[in-house]
């Protein structure tokens, strides 16, 4: 064989070998998050994602980057809003809610289909998440889910309790006020109420009354009793926080005390207690407080501990890219990704953290109920009494502003009579 023919034969063999390598490589299975696969999944567009966790920008951006790497034609813009409730309510009114949005509490169940798209095809159901039914609209479709589960109680600094000589957690109002007195005696602020913030003051009408009586709404709408009457749930709630203010057991400068300053003061031991949800301890941990030094106990004299969801999330009906929004929504809230990113308890019923949470709450030997289980839905998935109650509340101004006025007023009797009168007129007209 000539030299030329030998070279041609060797070149042919080389080409056969190279071709085999390419064929072999092309037949390898693709990774699920392979860029080529992602490019062909059809997802493309820009969406906005809003969260109230202004302190978790880096973690949320990391979650977004993870999704964008899987879907390179998608862009997710992060929007952080601290006082989200009022801002998003205004945006909802003019049809400008972000694609993935916190759900304003002012939006009724019967209005969900007006503002949001259904989420029924994303895999969330009553068997795998808590408070599932709370996100169902009047048409029976799922429109939003909770970001977390939590309960509301008094978080406290264990070391300062010891320093003040408080040996057992207070179980009555008298014991609580005595604890405040001991804390003030060592020149600490007993409890912060964060008077200037709407979301903290709303708690005293939105959550606390139900811990005394979970049928509070039904009675307020159906019974002949007043909405604010001595020893009912609303009365006990408002007068508990009013006593704190009147006795000087909270922050001095009610109008200028900031939320972020409050966190620092609790961390540093200058403020000893706060009534807030159980996820707050993780925020304190994030800024450097030893979580083992943070205790929590139920509000004195309540009848039940109610496990609520935290801020709810949905997808705006006005989104230009519903499939993109749904894909990101599913990615964000499955596998506890959002809860892990912002360091809160997940809504998953299969989470070990959730199981430990319930063990802790049950240790107080007070009945524990999940919010879902006290909602009396009819066949059309609307709690009629809740809708009426919510409407009456808006018309009479029973909100955070009323709480702010009540706790500092020199004449609560006049405030009470005025509220009761306007509420009863609405019941007569209904």
List, for residues 347-377, the tens digit of each pLDDT value.
999 999 999 999 999 999 999 998 877 765 5
Could you read off the pLDDT of 237-263 as tens digits, one per residue? 999 999 999 999 999 999 999 999 999
More confident residue, 27 or 152: 152
Q: Please check the confidence at residue 33 and state whether its pLDDT lies above 80.
A: no
CA distance 278 to 297: 10
- Pair (176, 317) in one structural domain: no
Confidence of residue 215 (pLDDT cuts 50, 70, 90): confident
In this structure, the answer to whether residues 172 and 302 fall within a common structural domain is: yes
CA atoms within 13 A on the CB side of 105: 18
- Domain identity same for 260 and 161: yes
**Tokens found for residue 383:** 């709690």
Domain boundary among 322, 342, 364: 364
What is the b/e burial string over 405-415, where b = at least 16 CB atoms within 10 angstroms of the residue's CB? Answer: ebbeeeebeee
Q: Kindly state whether residue 420 falls inside one of the protein's structural domains.
A: yes
What confidence category does residue 169 fall into, taking pLDDT thresholds of 50, 70 and 90?
very high
Mean pLDDT of 270-299: 95
In a domain, 21, yes or no: no
Same domain, 220 and 102: no
Residue reference for tokens 């919010």:
371
Whether residues 416 and 267 share a domain: the answer is: yes
Rounded percentage of the chain residues whose pLDDT exceeds 90: 72
Q: Is residue 359 part of a domain?
A: yes
Distance from C-alpha of 121 to C-alpha of 135, rounded to nearest angstrom: 14
**Vertex 11, ends 9 and 16: CA angle to 5°?**
95
- Residues shown for the chain: 430
- Indicate whether 144 and 166 sit together in one domain: no
Q: Does 268 lie in the same domain as 191? A: yes
Check whether 174 has a pLDDT greater than 70.
yes
Q: Are strands 294-297 and 189-192 parallel, antiparallel or unpaired?
A: unpaired
Q: What pLDDT is stored for residue 121 in this prediction?
A: 96
Distance CA 348, CA 124 (A): 9
**CATH number of the domain that residue 212 is part of:** 3.40.190.10
- Of the candidates 275, 425, 328, 322, the residue with the CA atom closest to the CA atom of residue 63: 328
For residue 84, give the 3-state DSSP assignment.
helix
Residue 194 region, left (φ>0) first, then alpha (ψ -120 to 50), else beta?
left
Range of the domain at 409: 150-308+377-429
Model confidence at 321, in pLDDT bands (50, 70, 90)?
Answer: very high
| Confidence (pLDDT) at 225 | 87
Query: Does residue 161 lie within any of the structural domains?
Result: yes
Q: Domain check: are 72 and 118 in the same one?
A: yes
Q: What is the pLDDT of residue 170?
A: 97
Q: What gap in Å lies between CA 11 and CA 5, rounded to an integer?
A: 10
In a domain? residue 8: no
**CB neighbour list of residue 257: distance below 8 Å, 6 or more residues apart:** 192, 194, 195, 196, 251
Q: How high is the pLDDT of residue 376?
A: 57
**In the listed set 341, 364, 387, which residue is the last one of a domain according to the structure?**
364
Q: Are residues 294 and 381 in the same domain?
A: yes
Interval 413-424 mean pLDDT: 96
Based on the fold, state whether residues 178 and 45 are members of the same structural domain. Answer: no
Q: Looking at the DSSP assignment, which residues form a beta bridge with residue 74?
A: 45
Looking at residue 377, what is its pLDDT? Answer: 58
Q: Following CA atoms 373, 365, 181, 413 in sequence, which dihedral angle do they give, to the nearest 10 degrees? A: 40
pLDDT for res 378: 57
pLDDT digits (tens, 9 = 90+) for 115-156: 999 999 999 999 999 999 889 998 999 999 999 999 999 999
Number of domains composing the chain: 2
In 3D space, the residue among 339, 322, 289, 321 whose CA is nearest the CA of residue 60 turns out to be 339
User: Would you give the DSSP letter of residue 30?
Assistant: P
Q: Is the pTM of this model over 0.85?
A: no
Q: What is the rounded end-to-end Cα distance, in angstroms, of the chain?
A: 107
What mean pLDDT comes out for the span 289-297? Answer: 96
Residue 79 φ/ψ region, left for φ over 0, alpha for ψ in the -120 to 50 degree band, beta for the rest: beta
Element (H, E) at 17: helix 3-26
Best CA proximity match to 387, nearest among 103, 132, 92, 107: 107
Taking only the tens place, the pLDDT of each residue in 47-96 is 999 999 998 999 999 999 999 999 999 999 999 987 777 788 889 889 99
Residues 300 and 328 both lie in one domain:
no
Domain assignment present for 115: yes
Q: How far apart are CA 34 and CA 69, in angstroms?
A: 9
Q: For residue 12, what pLDDT band results from cuts at 50, 70 and 90?
A: very low
Same domain, 126 and 63: yes
Which one has a higher pLDDT value, 248 or 23?
Answer: 248
pLDDT on residue 4? 36
């Amino acid at each position: 064989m000539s030299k030329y023919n030998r070279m041609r034969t060797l070149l042919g063999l080389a080409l056969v070998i190279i071709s085999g390598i390419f064929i072999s490589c092309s037949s390898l299975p693709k990774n699920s998050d392979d860029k080529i696969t992602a490019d062909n999944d059809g997802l493309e567009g820009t969406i906005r994602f809003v969260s109230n966790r202004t302190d978790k920008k880096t973690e949320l951006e990391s979650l977004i980057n993870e999704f964008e790497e899987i879907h390179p034609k998608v862009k997710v813009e992060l929007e952080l809003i601290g006082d989200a409730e009022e801002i998003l309510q205004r945006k909802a009114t003019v049809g400008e809610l972000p694609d993935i949005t916190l759900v304003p509490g002012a939006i009724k169940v019967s209005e969900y289909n007006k503002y949001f798209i259904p989420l029924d095809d994303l895999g969330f159901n009553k068997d795998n998440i808590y408070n599932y039914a709370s996100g169902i609209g009047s048409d029976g479709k799922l429109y939003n889910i909770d970001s977390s589960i939590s309960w509301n109680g008094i978080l406290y600094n264990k070391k300062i309790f010891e320093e003040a000589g408080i040996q057992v957690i207070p179980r009555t109002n008298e014991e609580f006020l005595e604890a405040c007195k001991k804390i003030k005696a060592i020149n600490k602020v007993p409890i912060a109420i964060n008077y200037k913030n709407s979301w903290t003051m709303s708690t005293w009408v939105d959550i606390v009354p139900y811990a005394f009586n979970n049928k509070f709404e039904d009675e307020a709408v159906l019974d002949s009793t007043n909405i604010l009457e001595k020893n009912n749930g609303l009365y006990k709630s408002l007068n508990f926080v009013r006593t704190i203010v009147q006795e000087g057991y909270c922050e001095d400068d009610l109008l200028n005390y900031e939320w972020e300053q409050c966190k620092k003061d609790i961390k540093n031991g200058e403020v000893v207690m706060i009534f807030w949800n159980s996820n707050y301890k993780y925020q304190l941990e994030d800024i450097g407080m030893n979580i083992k030094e943070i205790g929590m106990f139920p509000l004195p004299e309540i009848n039940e501990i109610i496990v609520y969801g935290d801020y709810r999330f949905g997808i705006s009906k006005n989104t230009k890219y519903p499939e993109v929004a749904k894909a990101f929504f599913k990615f964000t809230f499955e596998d506890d990704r959002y809860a892990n990113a912002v360091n809160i308890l997940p809504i998953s019923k299969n989470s070990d953290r959730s199981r430990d949470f319930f063990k802790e709450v049950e240790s107080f030997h007070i009945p524990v109920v999940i919010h879902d289980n006290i909602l009396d839905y009819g066949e059309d998935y609307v709690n009629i009494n809740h809708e009426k109650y919510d409407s009456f509340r808006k018309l009479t101004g029973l909100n955070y502003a009323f709480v702010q006025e009540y706790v500092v007023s020199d004449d609560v009797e006049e405030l009470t009579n005025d509220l009761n009168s306007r509420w009863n007129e609405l019941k007569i007209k209904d």
